[in-house]
Amino acid sequence: MDHHAETPIYKQLADGIRSMVDSGAIQSGEKLPATRELAGHLGLNRTTVSAAYAVLEQSGILEGHVGRGSFIAKITRPQRTERTDWESLLPPLESAAPPTPKIQISFANSRPAQDAFPLASFRRLTKDVVDGPDAAQILQLGSPHGHPPLRRYLIEQAVASGIARSSDDLIITNGCQQALDLLARLFFGENRGAANGVAMEDPVYHGLVRVFARAGANVIGIPMDAEGIDPALLEEVLQQYRPRLLVVTPSFQNPTGATLSLERRKRIVGLAQRYGAVLVENDIYSELRYQGGPVPTLKELDESGNSILLRSYSKVSFPGLRVGWVIAPQPVIARLAEAKQLSDLHSDQLSQAVLLRFAESGELTRHLERTRVAGAEKLSCVLEACARFLPEGSRFTRPSGGMSLWVEMPAPLLTESLLRRATQRGVDFLPGHYFSARRPHARAFRLSFGGVSPAEIVQGLKILGEAACAELASFATAAPLEPVAALV
């Protein structure tokens, strides 16, 4: 006992006994000396010892039995083996376990075909990188802004092509998903005030809706036609909701494949300015154009220089290497860099260095040329197969690039029941509600053709068409007999 310590003596004593119990020096069930006895032994007041015993009783370490004395509790720490009730402590899981039927042909994944990866050049360039003079620096702690040589290269490219202005800066992120996450937190984090709306296409990529909803934003859907956002409807949304952010995927939008015309782009840029919405351009598919010529980015058209542009190597090269980037006015990038540092310090440097080599060496351009040839074949194949196999009354978009198109089935068919039927025959896709910003899209689905072969496209759409016809037929026959069931 230290009589000069700030901790009172009774507490020192209680702590001492507690640690003897913890270390096993006193076993559960053992009897402690009577307070008078221990007080005499230690040269303390009896009340001090009683106070220590009381503290231990309160903690459940000691049990007092009147007339028999104080015993170390049988189960000293009953709570210690108690399992936390995680389900009540944590927010509910959003997704149930994924369905696991045997799928032969999947139109569900919007990702490149694995067998088209240029493995030989990837191998050669990776070896160049690790054998190169920057290897040790790549392995050392880096910068939240990104691997300096890649960042320099991307800035130079963006300035040369007229996309970045002198007032812009650039940060490298783990693909565009992290860029969206950082932006969502920057614009909708703590104390960001009442203007908490983010407007985006509807239907739209699920991860875009969710990342803004998680940040506390109010997600507002903008209705689309086959050419993307309708500027007149956008103006209504901007007028009504005055969103803080407007997120647009102008080329080969996920899931519709729609591409905005130059005229619509100009209108959208003007509207964002007029209504004070910060324009975020999700431009990750534009290089995957199979028909027609390129259209300028919204960022290039925005004379104010206020737009935020997101790009990524994931869709045009290797999604397993997580490298995207943001080009935006300097004050935005400075804050994204702070947020990035707190999120994961910086992006992985080995992949940044490999992808820099891939781009600088011209291999990325060559890979893109091959990808466009293969994509054009798949696209014409999928459009032809849709026209041939889907039941009468189906509608589908006709994109000129990208990885997906959007199909709407005739009433009364619902895509969830079509999906059940299709998976039984080994074909799947993502149903429309998965892409909902606000509207349910219950008759629609996304058909992703980027990762499947032309032969699989034909076979898969034949099965989808048959499943849709069978589903429609079941309505036709079921309706008069079992009207209630048919309405399910």
CA 423 – CA 104 distance, rounded (Å): 9
CA 466 – CA 391 distance, rounded (Å): 8
Q: Which is nearer to its own copies, 354 or 413 (CB)?
A: 354
Q: Which is nearer to its own copies, 165 or 433 (CB)?
A: 165
Q: Which is nearer to its own copies, 182 or 220 (CB)?
A: 182
Q: How far is the CB of 178 from its own copies (least distance, A)?
A: 4
Q: Which is nearer to its own copies, 87 or 392 (CB)?
A: 87
Q: How far is the CB of 417 from its own copies (least distance, A)?
A: 27
End-to-end alpha-carbon separation of the chain, Å? 76
Q: How far is the CB of 208 from its own copies (least distance, A)?
A: 10
* Residue among 291, 254, 260 nearest 434 (CA): 254
Q: How far is the CB of 137 from its own copies (least distance, A)?
A: 7
Q: How far is the CB of 304 from its own copies (least distance, A)?
A: 5
Q: Which is nearer to its own copies, 344 or 482 (CB)?
A: 344
Q: Which is nearer to its own copies, 302 or 471 (CB)?
A: 302
For 175, residues 6+ apart whose C-beta sits below 8 A from its C-beta are: 312, 314, 319, 322, 323, 324
Q: Which is nearer to its own copies, 234 or 413 (CB)?
A: 234
Q: Which is nearer to its own copies, 88 or 480 (CB)?
A: 88
Q: How far is the CB of 203 from its own copies (least distance, A)?
A: 18
Interhelix angle 349-360/148-160, rounded to 10 degrees, is: 40
Q: Which is nearer to its own copies, 48 or 415 (CB)?
A: 48
Q: Which is nearer to its own copies, 186 or 478 (CB)?
A: 186
